[in-house]
Amino acid sequence: MSSGSILFCLSFLVLAAGLVVVSLFRQRQLMARLTAAEARATRGGRALDLMAREVHGLGLGLLGRAQVLGGEAGAGFEAEARRILSLADAVVEAHGVVSAARALRDERFALGPVLADSVEAAQRQLGPGLRHWRLDPLLESLVVRADARALRGALVQVLCRAARATGEGDFIDIRAVQTPQGVTIVVEDEGLGLAVDDLSPTLHCGEEPRTRGLVLGLSLARALLRAHGGELVMEAAPGVGARAFLSLPANRVVVN
């Protein structure tokens, strides 16, 4: 091989090595920028999620007070509450904070205390209105593997909807159905029986479109259950009441 050919080969190898180095450097720069952008998006999403939850809770509290007040004053409270709930829903929808793609902790815990805490949280959001909550004793003995905080969040959203659909002094039953396929928490109320239509807003008896803020909570609950391999199903009968089925698969149930 002539010296010219050797020089050409060496030059080509140096050029190729340089291109590889530049490519790796740019790739690292892009990865660093992507990581930083993801971190900023995560922080922003968490902040927006917290804000939406706070605003959503405030709106639900106002709806509870509107129900107690009644009359013209209650109607005014309800209108403002629905605006607040719509705002919370818009924030969540615009920024995509309702997502099942979140890191779940795998914890082992009894359902009883989590349910009791969820009922208390739903009652606080309801405000001064009174509901009678009846919990199935079987729930005390059930132990599951899940993210306790996420499951509590799903339960609170479903219980808040049941409270919203019922009146002062009504009963809300919470029971468990255990099968070889898993366990289902059934929340049954004797309220208005408003349809959910796959968790999307609907019209009822000529009413104005319901705020999507109430549906926001159910969408979040469904996303959290699906992240656990479960599901949320709603059934409603106008004038009779509604039932919510929160299911978890068999691999989430701890057999004592």
What does the pLDDT look like over 157-215, one tens digit per residue?
899 888 878 888 889 999 999 999 999 999 998 876 555 544 433 433 334 444 444 55
Strands 231-237, 241-249: parallel, antiparallel or unpaired by DSSP?
Answer: antiparallel
Stretch 119-143: mean pLDDT: 83
pLDDT at 235: 87
State which amino acid sits at residue 247: S
Q: Which residue has the higher pLDDT, 36 or 118?
A: 118
pLDDT at 100: 45
Residue 101 reports pLDDT greater than 70: no
pLDDT at 14: 72
pLDDT at 210: 42
Stretch 105-123: mean pLDDT: 90
pLDDT at 111: 92
Stretch 96-116: mean pLDDT: 75
Element (H, E) at 32: helix 3-69
Contacts 24+ apart (CB under 8 A), 202-210: 210/82
Strands 253-254, 241-249: parallel, antiparallel or unpaired by DSSP?
Answer: unpaired
Residue 105 reports pLDDT greater than 90: no
Give the separation between CA 214 and CA 74, rounded to whole angstroms: 18
Element (H, E) at 241: strand 241-249
Model pTM? 0.60
State which amino acid sits at residue 75: A
